[in-house]
């Protein structure tokens, strides 16, 4: 089993930036596509961004395009989510997930497609 651990969340003001990290316990993580999801109170968990196992393809929800960037460093078993121009609407628990996903086929935006999940890290953006 691949265990994922998120870090980098915190309390920031609108307009600030944060970089989240997702680090895996096994090198097999390098062969999985990885995504970030988020869940705000009273809302369903939603797809934020995903990256292919090679790092060559990245996909974003419309709400974060142009502001967030997903990247990975397979040598470090880590996937990052750089979040810029944060707004209060970005406040949520952010979780990373890994799975055998081929984003080229249009998959990867739903939770049940992923096999492994981290515990989440809280991001709070104040006005």
Span 93-114, pLDDT tens digits: 999 999 998 888 877 889 999 9
- Which of 87, 126, 124 has the alpha carbon at shortest distance from 10? 124
Confidence label for 91 from pLDDT (cuts 50, 70 and 90): very high
Taking only the tens place, the pLDDT of each residue in 2-36 is 899 999 999 999 999 999 999 998 877 888 999 99
Per-residue pLDDT at 74 exceeds 90: no
Mean pLDDT of the chain: 94
Model pLDDT, residue 28: 78
């Amino acid at each position: 089993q691949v265990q994922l651990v998120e870090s980098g969340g915190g309390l920031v003001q609108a307009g600030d930036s944060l970089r989240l990290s997702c680090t895996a316990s096994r090198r097999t993580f390098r062969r999985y596509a990885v995504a970030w999801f988020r869940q705000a109170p009273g809302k369903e968990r939603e797809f934020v961004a995903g990256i292919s196992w090679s790092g060559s393809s990245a996909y974003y929800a419309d709400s974060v395009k142009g502001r967030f960037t997903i990247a990975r460093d397979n040598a470090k078993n880590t996937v990052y989510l750089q979040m810029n121009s944060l707004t209060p609407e970005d406040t949520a628990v952010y979780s990373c997930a890994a799975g055998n996903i081929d984003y080229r086929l249009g998959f990867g935006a739903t939770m049940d497609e992923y096999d492994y999940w981290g515990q989440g890290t809280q991001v709070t953006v104040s006005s």
